């Protein structure tokens, strides 16, 4: 089955589909560094950096050489979802969502998959969610949605996202049940990353080496096609920052700090240290609020990629800030794989 990935970023969603046996034809995003990463990791796929509101279905067909497009996937940003009222979705500020809908209408794929933040479901008492369902149902798609926790699908991260899946053949998609991919119910932060250098004494090099053989099935998955480690360099924190981090216990945050440091950052996730025996929290795009469960630093790009379930042979390009953003914005590939495998049952 051929897919195209709109708002692709570096391509976590499409990678998950590829792990399930799909073929990615095209990725579109306005982030040049992310598209560079997309193209280098999705061999044989085309990556386009452009404003999606300017792209037509006809242009997409031309770009993929007339090949059939079976599934359209993507995570349109939800900025602008800020108006109540009878035609919520058609406010001009919602043009990114509207572009996804328009392209599906023009291409008429067998199915589509949208990923977004869970808050979309309840926003304005469900008005945006209802508008999305209505738009696609008018096009002839039977649409179902569900909020999924990535930790339930083998990802060492408690990241929740809503997925909308629409089918053209009249069937109603049933989401995959939580499944144990590996040996535990949930993979924890230590299991995900303990074979990577801790980088306590050095900041690391462009290429690093594993500190042990794979310790579990999850690490075997990550290392299946990789002999060395890329994107694993530590942030050079100042001494004050390292001192404050060192005072936070595993699983703790700013509330656990001595009083003189407690007000240095004032919000609920400030100075949060991951717990080694739990999955990571939802990783951010590099805001430096979450810290390694043991080392006194933020996780590296590679550690975040492990928390997202990217295999180690998926290399991130651009500067460090761009790499963190790419990883943080991505859909966890193993979560995408679970949805893609279930979707195949309806497409074959």
Domains annotated on the chain, with CATH: 2-179+331-347 (3.40.50.150), 189-317 (3.90.120.10)
Under a CB-based contact definition with an 8 Å cutoff, are residues 331 and 161 in contact? yes
Instruction: Spell out the residues 6+ positions from residue 34 whose beta carbon is closer than 8 angstroms to its own.
Output: 8, 9, 10, 318, 322, 325, 326, 329
In whole angstroms, give the CA distance from residue 264 to residue 201: 26
In whole angstroms, give the CA distance from residue 331 to residue 309: 9
* Residue in 62, 41, 47, 36 with CA at minimum distance from that of residue 6: 47
In the three-class reduction of DSSP (H, G, I as helix; E, B as strand; rest coil), residue 36 is classed as helix
* Residue in 281, 226, 333 with CA at minimum distance from that of residue 270: 281
What length does the chain have? Answer: 348
Q: Which of 134-165 are b and which e, b meaning 16 or more Cβ less than 10 Å from the residue's Cβ?
A: ebbeeeebbbebeebbbbbbbbbbbbebbbbb
pLDDT recorded at residue 182: 81
pLDDT recorded at residue 89: 62
Record the pTM.
0.95
Q: What is the DSSP letter of 106?
A: H
Under a CB-based contact definition with an 8 Å cutoff, are residues 261 and 242 in contact? no
Q: What is the DSSP letter of 108?
A: -
pLDDT recorded at residue 45: 97
The verdict on whether 222 is a catalytic residue reads no
Q: Which of 182-193 are b and which e, b meaning 16 or more Cβ less than 10 Å from the residue's Cβ?
A: beeebbbbbbbb
In whole angstroms, give the CA distance from residue 130 to residue 128: 5
Under a CB-based contact definition with an 8 Å cutoff, are residues 176 and 339 in contact? yes
Under a CB-based contact definition with an 8 Å cutoff, are residues 343 and 108 in contact? no
Q: Which of 216-248 are b and which e, b meaning 16 or more Cβ less than 10 Å from the residue's Cβ?
A: bebbebbbeeeeebbbbbbbebeeebeebbeeb
pLDDT recorded at residue 69: 98
Regions in the chain scoring below 70 on pLDDT: 78-94
| Of 10, 78, 194, 222, catalytic | 78
| pLDDT tens-digit series, residues 92-142 | 666 788 899 999 999 999 999 999 989 888 887 888 888 889 999 999 999
pLDDT recorded at residue 84: 44
pLDDT recorded at residue 160: 95
């Amino acid at each position: 089955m051929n897919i195209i990935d709109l708002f692709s970023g570096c391509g976590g969603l499409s990678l998950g589909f590829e792990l399930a046996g799909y073929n990615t034809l095209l990725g579109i995003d306005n982030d040049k560094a992310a598209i560079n990463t997309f193209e280098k990791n999705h061999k044989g796929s085309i990556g386009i950096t452009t404003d999606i509101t300017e792209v037509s279905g006809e242009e997409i067909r031309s770009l993929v050489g007339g090949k059939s497009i079976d599934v359209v996937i993507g995570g349109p940003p939800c900025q602008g979802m800020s108006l109540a009222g009878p035609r919520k979705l058609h406010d001009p500020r919602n043009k990114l969502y509207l572009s996804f809908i328009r392209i599906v209408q023009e291409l008429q794929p067998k199915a589509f998959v949208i990923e977004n933040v869970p808050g979309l479901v309840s926003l304005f008492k469900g008005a945006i969610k209802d508008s999305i369902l209505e738009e696609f149902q008018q096009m002839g798609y039977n649409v179902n949605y569900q909020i999924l926790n990535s930790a339930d699908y083998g990802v060492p991260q408690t990241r929740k996202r809503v997925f909308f899946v629409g089918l053209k053949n009249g069937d109603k998609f049933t989401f995959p049940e939580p499944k144990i991919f590996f040996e535990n119910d949930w993979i924890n932060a230590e299991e995900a990353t303990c074979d990577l250098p801790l980088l306590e004494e050095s900041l690391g090099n462009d290429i690093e080496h594993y500190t042990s053989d794979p310790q579990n099935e999850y690490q075997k998955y990550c290392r299946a096609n990789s002999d060395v480690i890329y994107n694993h360099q530590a942030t050079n924190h100042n001494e004050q920052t390292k001192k404050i981090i060192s005072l936070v216990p595993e699983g703790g945050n700013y509330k656990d700090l001595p009083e003189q440091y407690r007000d240095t950052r004032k919000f609920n996730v400030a100075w949060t240290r991951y717990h080694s025996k739990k999955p990571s929290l939802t990783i951010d795009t590099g805001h430096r609020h979450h810290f390694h469960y043991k080392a006194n630093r933020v996780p590296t790009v590679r550690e975040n990629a492990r928390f997202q379930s990217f295999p180690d042979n998926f290399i991130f390009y651009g500067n460090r800030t761009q790499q963190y953003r790419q990883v943080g914005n991505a859909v966890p590939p193993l979560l995408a794989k679970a949805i893609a495998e279930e979707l195949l049952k309806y497409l074959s």
